[in-house]
């Protein structure tokens, strides 16, 4: 039975992320989104993070009018699956503002077939 509230869309775009519970955490680059929805995303991480790990993402997005923007989103790790050199990590977005939701929706509209 499908538990997702929002449909997922394939998105191959790079992101930056860091742990929000560690003031010494550095931005990690080189990760890639595999899919995204209004509720969360699946991305490749180079470290295994336990469920509940709080993260902040910086996404470089485009909208239908070809405007490029950077959106910062808070998320929490749901699970991470072992890969060969990375971990497929699922997160849910948390505490999104109205403007963040609007930008995320514009990005999803841009990548939606």
DSSP-based three-state secondary structure for 45: strand
Q: Which pLDDT score, from 0 to 100, does residue 2 have?
A: 53
Within the chain, what is the greatest distance between any pair of CA atoms?
A: 40
Q: What is the mean pLDDT, run by run of 10 residues, along the chain of 113 residues?
A: 73 88 90 91 92 94 80 95 89 95 89 74
Cα–Cα distance, 49 to 11 (Å, whole number): 22
The distance in angstroms from the start CA to the end CA of the chain is: 25
Burial of 12 (0-12, 13-18, 19+ CB in 10 A): exposed
pLDDT of res. 3? 65
13 touches 33 (CB < 8 A): yes
What CA–CA distance (Å, rounded) separates 109 from 4? 18
Model pLDDT, residue 80: 93
* Ranges of each domain in the chain: 9-111
pLDDT of residue 63: 75
Superfamily of the domain at 9-111: predicted glycosyltransferase like domains (2.40.10.220)
pTM > 0.85: yes or no: yes
Distance CA(22)–CA(28), nearest Å, equals 13
């Amino acid at each position: 039975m499908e538990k997702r509230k929002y449909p997922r869309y394939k998105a191959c775009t790079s992101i930056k992320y860091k742990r929000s519970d560690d003031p010494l955490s550095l931005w990690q680059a080189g990760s890639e989104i595999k899919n995204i929805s209004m509720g969360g995303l699946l991305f490749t991480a180079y470290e295994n993070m336990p469920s509940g790990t709080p993260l902040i993402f910086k996404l470089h997005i485009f909208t239908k009018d070809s405007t490029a923007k950077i959106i910062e989103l808070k998320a929490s790790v749901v699970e991470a699956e072992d890969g060969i050199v990375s971990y497929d990590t699922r997160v849910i977005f948390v505490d999104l503002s109205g403007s963040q939701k609007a930008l995320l929706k514009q990005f999803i509209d841009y990548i939606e077939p």
